[in-house]
């Protein structure tokens, strides 16, 4: 029940897959149908439900795997993390590139700016481009990510959202790691955890 996103350049056909948690065959079929070639697999954070298909996606596409340095160690023990929840996940290959705040990920005519948004996990990131924001489990419609996992911290998460995401503009569309999309403006007005009234 985690969201995976495909961002593609219509002109060049280059694409990034954000948070392939599972269903690699479905993702690959979608990419083929859209005639997109994956240049990057980007993980917004290292929890198994967002990175469980990393290995299959990398094996199938040869794309570079990107994640923030603080969450990169999680990729090596996905199978253990998933088994604690009674689920299965393959350990991920190591990342090809470690991301940090302010980096840009470019493919085709698209550039995604990396915003380090810790709190749900130490290396959680959001990706911003032209009024679109991919936030992983940092922010949800009417809620925020859990902070009771190792490395999570409520105050850090709230600070990340208010200081780094809410400044992007009310009309920015927010694509979340679980559940429906929202906007920055809606979350400012209505989110009981971080809303600014």
What's the number of domains the chain is made of?
Answer: 1
| Domain at 38, CATH number | 3.60.15.10
On whether the pTM is more than 0.85, the answer is: yes
| Inside any domain, residue 195 | no
Q: What pLDDT does residue 136 have?
A: 98
Over its length of 197 residues, how does the chain's per-residue pLDDT go in tens digits?
Answer: 899 999 999 999 999 999 999 999 999 999 999 999 999 999 999 998 999 999 999 999 999 999 999 999 999 887 777 777 777 778 899 999 999 999 999 999 999 999 999 999 999 999 999 999 999 999 999 999 999 998 999 999 999 999 999 999 999 999 999 999 999 999 999 999 997 75
Main-chain dihedrals φ then ψ at residue 159, nearest 5 degrees: -65, -40
| Inside any domain, residue 127 | yes
Q: What pLDDT does residue 197 have?
A: 58
| Inside any domain, residue 196 | no
* Domain that includes residue 70, residue range: 5-190
CA–CA separation, 158 and 156 (whole Å): 6
Q: What pLDDT does residue 54 have?
A: 97
| Inside any domain, residue 88 | yes
């Amino acid at each position: 029940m985690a969201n995976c996103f495909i961002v593609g350049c219509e002109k060049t056909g280059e694409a990034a897959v954000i948070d392939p948690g599972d269903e690699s065959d479905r993702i690959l079929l979608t990419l083929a149908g859209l005639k997109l070639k994956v240049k990057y697999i980007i993980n917004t954070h290292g929890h198994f439900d967002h990175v469980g298909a990393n290995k299959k996606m990398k094996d199938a596409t040869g794309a570079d795997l990107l994640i923030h340095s603080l969450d990169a160690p999680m990729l090596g023990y996905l199978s253990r993390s998933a088994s604690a929840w009674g689920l299965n996940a393959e350990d991920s290959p190591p990342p090809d590139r470690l991301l940090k705040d302010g980096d840009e990920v470019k493919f085709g005519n698209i550039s995604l700016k990396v915003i380090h948004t810790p709190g749900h996990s130490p290396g959680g990131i959001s990706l911003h481009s032209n009024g679109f924001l991919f936030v992983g489990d940092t922010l949800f419609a009417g809620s925020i990510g859990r902070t009771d996992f190792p490395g999570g911290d409520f105050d850090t998460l709230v600070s990340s959202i208010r200081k780094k995401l809410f400044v992007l503009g009310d009309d920015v569309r927010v694509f979340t790691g679980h559940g429906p999309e929202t906007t920055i403006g809606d979350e400012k007005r209505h989110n009981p955890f971080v809303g600014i009234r």
